[in-house]
Structures are given as structure tokens and as C-alpha cells.
Structure 1
Amino acid sequence: MKTKNTKEALLVLFEKNKGRFFSGEEIAETLSVSRAAVWKAVKSLREDGYAIEALKGKGYSLSPDTDIVSAQGMAKYLKSDLDLDLVVFDEVTSTNTLLKERAAAGAQEGTVIIANSQTGGKGRMGRSFYSPLNTGLYISILLRPDSMPAQEALKITTMSAVAACRAIETVLLPEDERPQIKWVNDIFYHGKKVVGILTEASMSMENGNLEYAVPGIGFNVYTPEGGFPDELKEIAGAILPDRVPDAKNRIAAEFLNHFFAIYRSKDHGDYAAEYKKRSLVLGKNVDVIPTGGGKTRRAKVLDITEDCGLLVEFKDGTKEVLSSGEVSVRPEK
């Protein structure tokens, strides 16, 4: 067995048995490798940040408090029928950029790239997405929808938003506040943005349908050391105030479980009703910011349609269903 495979197999063993000690001899026999290979794999995992305790006479144990996302760690929570190709990186420029490159090269639907940090994370309208190491979780999924018109790409973003809310709730206490959705792509918790979603796609020029779509989802799981940058501290927040064992693996796996349950169900289920129920903007006055710039207009949100469009009424009495752009909620003067 190669060193890399030994490391991966050891992580599977540890993730399934957090807190349990295994002797070097027991691990070597279980994995059919040498004691030296076990030691090298343990050393490599420690270098990756895994807290592995070693006690004389007891062996090695992965700390129950460990919270590092990995394919092996997610496996405990992922539904067995998802059939995904998971790739986990410590750091990338952008999970969306990397996955779009693989999509263009022919990667199949269900390819998922996950990273612990991004050096060039992307937000909507050309903005960057702050993606520091060890505190966030960044996921991109490759989809190849069957006959989905490009104008319906909004559905992918809104499905992602509902799945993200459900995933967050798996690490919250029953009495905790519920996450809400600010149309179209942000998740707010305790009044702060904790998740951002950016869906990018390629369209067929022949029929106008999507060739592929890549929704990218960034979770602020914890507050970065030293806090968020000055330009973000008023808006950005974290899902959890303190470290929670295995929170990242659970959030990532449950997001994928819920997203594909919606995406693969007939007519995508009734997720739109849940999207509307979780709305942060319904009934409120907002600033409507057009895609590509333009004049911001004040409007009141009247409804969210079955396609998750935003029905607004402007000050002059005209009504419009928005399917692009974004809205900003600010206190009335």
C-alpha cells in the first residue's frame, strides 16, 4: 500500500473511532502495512493539523475535538446513494474556478470540490469572498441539468440556500435561532451573513439550455482569529461561537445530502415554499440593486413566487418580479 493510501486509510480508521486508541501493531495489521508506514502516516496527518495523541502502551488516537473537513470525515454523515466524486483541498484559489475547469474538460455531474480556504474566493457581482484558513468551509458542485433553460439557473441558487439552512441547523441546538435567507443568495444568522452562494454556468448556444452549472457555497463556520476585516465586521458573522467537534464534516455532508435530495426529486419537491418561509426580506422595504450596476431603487417586497422570483412594488406603484440582481435591507430613516 502506498504512503498516500496508508494515510487515507488511517484517517478513515481514526474518523470512525475518534477518541479510541490503536496500537501501532494493530493499525499495521488492520491496514496491512509496516509499522514504519503507520508512523509516517501519523506524522503526515499531524502536519495537516490533525490532533493525534500518542501514549506509551496505548498507541495512537484522533482527538474527539478534531474539526477538519475531509472525505473520510464526511463519509460518516453522507447518504450512501449520493454517488459523488469528492475532492478535498486544504487551500485553492477558488473552488468554482477549479471545478469549472474540470467541467470544461468533461467531468461528470456530482463532482464536488471542497476546500478549507481560498486565496481568490468569488462573490456575486465581481466581488471577492473572504475565505480564511481553518474557520470556513467552501464547496462547489458540478451539475449537468437535463434540459434546464439558462433563465432557470436561479433555481440552483435557491435550492442551495435551502440546503445550506438545513445543514446549519444540524449543528445548532433546538432552542437556537433559525437561519434566514436574504434573497437571493445570502444566509443570515443572528443578523449577520454567514453563507454566500455564487452560481456560475455555461449555456448551449444551440438550445439555450445549461450545459453545466457550478453553485459555490461559502460557510463562515467560525470567526477568524482576530475577527473579520474592518470592511466586513458589520455584516459578516459566524455560524458557531466556539469550536464544535466535527462541525465542518457534518455541515458539508448534510448540505450535500439536502441539496441532492431537492435537486434530484421530481419537480425539485416543494423547496420553494420553504425558501419563502425562511425569507428575511418578505414584507420589508429594500434597495433593489440591478445586475451590472445602474440606479438603485427603493421597493417593498410583496411576495416570493413559486420560481423564487422576488415580487416588489416600487415607490411609483409599478410592480416587478426580479430574477436577477440583489437587494439590500437597511433601516428606515
Structure 2
Amino acid sequence: MTVKEKLKGLFEKNRGRYLSGEEIAADLGCTRGAVWKAVRSLEDEGYRIDAVTNKGYCMLSENDIISEEGIKKYLSSGDKNKIVVLKQTDSTNLRLKEIAAEGATEGTLVVAGEQTAGRGRLGRTFASPPDSGVYMSLLLRPEMGASDAIRITTAAAVAVAEVAEQLTGRKTGIKWVNDIYCEGRKVCGILTEASFNVEFGGFDYAVLGIGINVYEPEGGFPDELKSVAGALLPERVPDLRNRMIAGIVNRFTELYRNIGDSTYLDAYEKRLMWKGEKINIISPKGTSAAVLKGIDHECGLVVEYPDGTEGVISSGEISIRKN
């Protein structure tokens, strides 16, 4: 571990407190000159660090920069999760798939400050501008059948919605099956991708990808997204993104341990958007009209067709839109 990485961890543990150069050097086992260089390097990364003669250095509490040390500080599992934090990547799901194929353990987490090729369901792109969102992928090695993969996505939706509400005070809604909305605008997309064992009919691994618009990006959303995309908060909150990442991992892990009992679906259905309203079901075969009734215990969407009959649709290549 470099002096800069050690210093980042020390600062994270002592946010808002001044540490003398001598104290830091002794703690890290380096020279005061090395401390000074590490401080400058952290400032170049965007950290706000106050330096006062006879007091030392202080990482200001207002920082909201994603870091491994900052995430671990809030994780219930402590140092058990392997965390990879990247300033920029094409897709956190793609990076984690590579790590998974090399035998990484369940709970490995990849987080990026920006994605250049973020992806959503049905081949759609997910805009992932720098320094404004949370883009994270969690490695799972579930003991369940392939048909139960939708449970991972729906449990993650509950975890994101609950943590977002706790940390921001704003109400959220869930658009079946994988989108989180706030005040009528999409603020989060979830994409679960998996590698299956053909012989045994189960998972080799699953990669749970979550992208959240925490703040509106500098310059606003692209024109093609302005009518649908939103952000959780208009202004920055100190250390919010590290707390949000850790909070989602913590809550999802709780749900994941008992994912087969379906009790979390009550929290999902409570936030389900468009219940009782007319929707269009869009599939490769065409568009069908229906009224959205709710979800069943297998996470399928229960709908009522114009002739009065009910049906259940699974996610697959199907999406829904409000009529």
C-alpha cells in the first residue's frame, strides 16, 4: 500500500480532525516530506484538505469523493469485501465479470466514478457522467436456479429505494422490474447479468450492476434524457456517495441471505408504480394494453387485459410504459 493510500485511510478515519505532519509520518512510517507529497496528490484527485501551521492537515468533512477507505468505513462486513475503485471504466459489470472469471469471491465490489459504456436492460445505454453518480457492481455466487435470477434484481431495487430514502429523505417508486424513480424521473437502473452452469442448471456467478444519479451532472443531462432522467439531490452532501454504496451493500446482503422467502416483496410492491393504471406491455411480438395489478411471489407482473382476464408476465425481453 502506498503512502497516499495509507494517508487516505487515516484521513477517512479522522474526518474533520487536524493531524500534525509529525503524527501522520509516525503513524504511516514515512517522512514528513512523503506526507506532504501524498497530501498534494490527494488534492489533485479532488479532496479538500486544510493545512494550518501548528495544527497540521485535516480532510474536510464536506468531501464527497468515492474511495475504498470511505466505503469500508460504513460496511457492516468491515474489511471482508474486496473493493476495487476506479476513476473511470467502460462498465463496472464488464470489469467485475473479468474478476469473477478469475475466481473472485462473493461480495467483491467494483465501483467507478464514471462509465464510458454503461449498460442497461435490453441493450440500452446508461449515461454515467463523472463525479455525479454511483456506478457499482457486486459479485454474487448464488445457490439458486436460473429462473430465480429476477429475485436478485428485485431485492436490489428494494435495497436501493430504502437506502436512498434514508439518506436523502425523498420518496422513491419502483418501475417494474429494475428502475427507481423519484418525483417522476428515473434516478437508478439495475442490471443483473449471470454466467450459468449448463450441467447443473445453476449459477457460476451473477453480477449485480447498479447505476444511480445522485446529483445532476455538470451542464445537466443530455437533451435525449432531460425528459426522463433525474437526480436524487440538487446539491452535494458530505460523504453521501460512500455512505450510499455501503448502505446498499449492507441492505442488499441482508435481503440476499433470505431471498427465497419473498418477504421483501412487500416493500417492493409498496413502491410499485402505476398500480391500477393502464400500461402498454412491449415485447418483440408487439404492444399489448393492460391494467397493472401488482406482482406475484415469483416477481412476475400481474396484469388484467381488456377482456377481463388476468395474466402474469416475466421480465425477459418485455418492458412496460404507462398508457
* TM-score strictly above 0.5: yes
SS of 2:88's equivalent in the other structure is: coil
1:157 matches 2:150: no
Tell me the amino acid that sits aligned with residue 113 of structure 1.
V
- Counterpart contact for 1:283–1:301, Cα < 8 Å: yes
TM-score (norm 2): 0.95
Which residue of structure 1 aligns with residue 90 of structure 2?
A: 93
**Which stretch of structure 1 is more off in the superposition, 61-70 or 12-21?**
12-21
SS of equivalent to 1:167: helix
Give the gaps of 5 or more residues in structure 1: none
- Residue correspondence of structure 1 range 50-129 to structure 2 within 5 A: 50-80=47-77, 83-129=80-126
Alignment correspondent of 1:322: 313
1:143-154 aligned at under 5 Å gives the runs 143-146=140-143, 148-154=144-150
Contact 1:181–1:278 (8 Å) recurs in 2: yes
Letter paired with 1:87: V
Question: Which range moved further: 24-33 or 113-122?
Answer: 24-33
- Given that 1:77 and 1:254 are in contact with CA atoms closer than 8 Å, whether structure 2 keeps it comes out as yes
Inter-CA distance 269–6: structure 2 relative to 1 (3 Å threshold): farther
User: Any idea what SS the aligned residue of 2:77 has?
Assistant: coil
| TM-score of the superposed pair, with normalisation by structure 1 | 0.92
Give the whole-Å Cα distance in 2 for the aligned partners of 1:150 and 1:53.
Answer: 52
SS in 2 for 1:142: strand
Contact 1:309-1:322 within 8 A present in 2 as well: yes
Preserved CA contact (<8 Å) 1:150 1:209: yes
Deviations 1:283-312 (A, max 9, x none): 22111122xx33121111112111221011
Deviation of 1:56 after TM superposition, in Å, equals 2.1
Q: Distance in 2 between matches of 1:266 and 1:195?
A: 21
Please name the residue that 1:30 is paired with.
27
> Does the 8 A contact of 1:262 with 1:269 survive in 2?
no
SS at match of 1:151: helix
Counterpart of 1:53 in structure 2: which amino acid? D
Partner residue in 2 for 1:235: 228
Deviates more, 1:164-173 or 1:234-243: 164-173
Q: Secondary structure at the match of 1:286?
A: strand
Question: In structure 2, what is the Cα distance between the partners aligned to 1:24 and 1:202?
Answer: 49
Q: Could you tell which deviates more after superposition, 38-47 or 159-168?
A: 38-47
Q: Within 1, Cα distance between the matches of 2:207 and 2:254?
A: 17
Question: 2:116·2:128 contact (CA, 8 Å) conserved in 1?
Answer: yes
Structure 2 gaps, min length 5: none
- Please name the residue that 1:297 is paired with: 288
Counterpart contact for 1:272–1:307, Cα < 8 Å: no
Residue type matched to 1:164 in 2? Answer: V
Q: Which runs of 4+ in 1 moved over 6 A?
A: none
Q: Does 1:307 align with 2:303?
A: no
Q: Which moved more, 1:295-304 or 1:223-232?
A: 295-304
The answer to whether the 8 Å contact 2:262/2:297 transfers is no
Q: Distance between the aligned counterparts of 2:182 and 2:256, measured in 1?
A: 24
Distance of 2:11 and 2:79 partners within structure 1? 23
Of the candidates 159, 184, 188, which is equivalent to residue 181 of structure 2?
Answer: 188
**1:257 aligned to 2:254?**
no
SS in 2 for 1:170: helix
- Taking the aligned partners of 1:81 and 1:53, their CA distance within structure 2 comes to 28
RMSD: 1.5
For each residue in 1:138-182, what CA deviation from the matched residue of structure 2 results, as whole angstroms up to 9, or x when unmatched? 010111111x11111100100110010111123223xxx411100
Q: Secondary structure at the match of 1:296?
A: strand
Aligned to 1:170: 166
Query: Is this contact kept in 1: 2:281–2:289, CA < 8 A?
Result: yes
% of aligned pairs identical? 49
Q: 1:266 to 1:187 in 2, by over 3 A?
A: closer
Residues 55-74 of structure 1: per-residue CA shift (max 9 Å, x gap): 22222111111001111112
AA aligned opposite 2:257: R
By how many angstroms is 1:266 displaced? 6.6
Give me the whole-angstrom Cα distance separating, in 2, the residues matched to 1:20 and 1:269.
45
Code of the residue aligned with 1:194 in structure 2: it is: V
